[in-house]
Amino acid sequence: MWLQKVILIGFRATGKSTVGRLLAERLSWDFVDLDHYIERRLGKSIREVVEEEGWETFRRAEREALRDFIGRPRVVLAVGGGAVMHRKEMEELGREGLFIWLKASPETISQRLKKDPYTKTRRPSLTGKSLEEEVRELLQERTPLYSALAHLELSSETQAPEELVEHILEQIKNF
């Protein structure tokens, strides 16, 4: 099979958007940040969508957005942290590409979330619990979903985005 796309999966703030953008530049492929794509399509931020219409509306839009990329070649896709819940769409994307799972500890994720400017507009609370508790719980709950899809897993804990890109490029060569 000719590799058509690379799909970055993993929890919030593990570096999917950062690494995806750099990887796409190196491959001279398109880069799509699915959260950004959804916001453009709906004409509002994820926070606004969730506050005004609830998570269900966001998840529906996310599923439709994933479908838009099935069959599209030469694209690096950074999906949101919860996109792995759309099993059918992820399975179809997986037939065309490689899933790279970016990982980090709950402590690092919480720290990054507190600092990152996009947290305000794109990452409303998913559970209503404290940030630390939410990250710990959801990370545990979603780990089997990331793990089941991943062709390659990499830690963004100590490696810089540029180093991660080199690893991914090395793996892609083998496909």
Ligand X SMILES: Nc1ncnc2c1ncn2[C@@H]1O[C@H](COP(=O)(O)OP(=O)(O)OP(=O)(O)O)[C@@H](O)[C@H]1O
Ligand Y SMILES: O=C(O)C1=C[C@@H](O)[C@@H](O)[C@H](O)C1
37 token code pair: 């794509």
Q: Find the binder of ligand X among 6, 7, 12, 24 (CB under 6 A).
A: 12
d(CA 82, CA 34): 11
Q: Shortest gap between Cβ of 52 and ligand X (angstroms)?
A: 20
Classify each residue of 63-81 as buried b or exposed e, where b means 16 or more C-beta atoms within 10 Å of its C-beta: eebbeebeeeeebbbbbbb
Q: Closer to ligand X at the Cβ: 4 or 17?
A: 17
What order of strands is seen across the sheet that includes strand 97-103? Answer: 30-33, 75-78, 5-9, 97-103, 152-155
Residues forming beta bridges with residue 78, ordered by sequence position: 8, 33
Q: Find the binder of ligand X among 26, 112, 136, 142 (CB under 6 A).
A: 112
123 in a known ligand binding site: yes
| Residues between 15 and 74 that touch ligand Y (CB under 6 A) | 35, 46
Regarding 145 and contact with ligand Y (CB under 6 A), the answer is no
Q: Find the binder of ligand Y among 113, 123, 139, 149 (CB under 6 A).
A: 123
Please answer whether residues 149 and 99 qualify as being in contact, where contact means their C-beta atoms are separated by less than 8 angstroms.
yes
Residues at the interface with Mg ion (CB under 5 A): 16-17
Regarding 82 and contact with ligand Y (CB under 6 A), the answer is yes
Sites of contact with ligand X (CB under 6 A) = 10, 12-18, 35, 78, 80-81, 112, 116, 118, 123, 156, 159-161
